[in-house]
């Protein structure tokens, strides 16, 4: 899918791991958050096994050859997936790229037959929460947050 002449979304694979890790680490660090490859961030050690082979998906947003964004769907049940790994390089924020990346993931969730998307995010990520709310996500209290994430949201999708 082409978003702009030089921006496009493509399937992520294990060859992208280091660039994905570097992007996420830089973004989380800028908010005072950390990563832990042994526990909460173990999914990034093998993207193909932890996403594509588990009924999930992981995409990257590229500007030519530069990885500038990520988004993933993690299988929860036949009807529910978890949106995760939604990150966008700071220089690309505020121009609609995050909204487009989120919209792409939601379309893919619907195509895969999911009827609900849940997500976990950190309360310090105000811009992300605003984006999710504008896309129809609402906070829920009956889910357990984890790691850096202390906010849980959900959204129904058509099917």
DSSP of 6-28: SEEEEE--GGGHHHHHHHHHHHH
CB atoms within 10 A of CB 110: 14
Domain count, the chain: 1
DSSP result, 83-97 = EEEEEE-GGGTTTTH
pLDDT at 131: 94
Q: Identify whether 2 is part of a domain.
A: no
Q: Identify whether 123 is part of a domain.
A: yes
Q: Identify whether 1 is part of a domain.
A: no
pLDDT at 5: 64
Q: Identify whether 51 is part of a domain.
A: yes
Q: Identify whether 122 is part of a domain.
A: yes
Walk along the chain (159 residues) and give the pLDDT tens digit of each residue.
444 568 999 999 999 999 999 999 999 889 888 777 665 677 888 999 999 988 999 999 999 999 999 999 999 999 999 999 999 999 999 889 999 999 999 999 999 999 999 999 888 788 889 999 999 999 987 655 556 677 899 999 975
Query: The domain containing residue 102 runs over which residues?
Result: 7-156
Q: What does the alpha-carbon distance between residue 53 and residue 21 come to, in Å, rounded to a whole number?
A: 20
Place of tokens 């030519």: 64
pLDDT at 112: 95
pLDDT at 122: 83
pLDDT at 1: 46
Decide: 54 and 42 in contact? Cβ < 8 Å.
Answer: no
pTM of the shown model: 0.88
pLDDT at 37: 62
List the one residue out of 144, 95, 150, 97 whose CA is nearest residue 126. 150
DSSP state of 34: -
Q: Domain with 94 in it: what CATH number?
A: 3.40.630.30
**SS3 call for 76:** coil
List the one residue out of 33, 61, 56 whose CA is nearest residue 46. 56
């Amino acid at each position: 899918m082409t978003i702009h002449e030089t921006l496009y979304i493509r399937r992520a694979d294990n060859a992208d791991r280091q660039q994905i890790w570097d992007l996420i680490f830089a973004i989380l660090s800028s908010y005072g958050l950390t990563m832990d490859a042994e526990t909460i961030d173990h999914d990034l050690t093998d993207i193909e096994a932890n996403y594509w082979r588990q009924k999930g998906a992981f995409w990257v947003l590229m500007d030519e050859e530069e990885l500038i964004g990520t988004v993933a769907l993690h299988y929860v049940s036949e009807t529910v997936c978890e949106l995760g790994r939604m990150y966008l390089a700071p220089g690309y924020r505020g121009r609609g790229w995050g909204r487009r990346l989120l919209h792409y993931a939601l379309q893919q969730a619907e195509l895969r037959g999911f009827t609900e998307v849940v997500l976990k995010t950190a309360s310090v990520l105000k811009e992300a929460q605003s984006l999710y709310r504008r896309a129809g996500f609402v906070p829920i209290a009956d889910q357990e947050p984890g790691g850096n994430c202390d906010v849980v949201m959900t959204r129904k999708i058509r099917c």
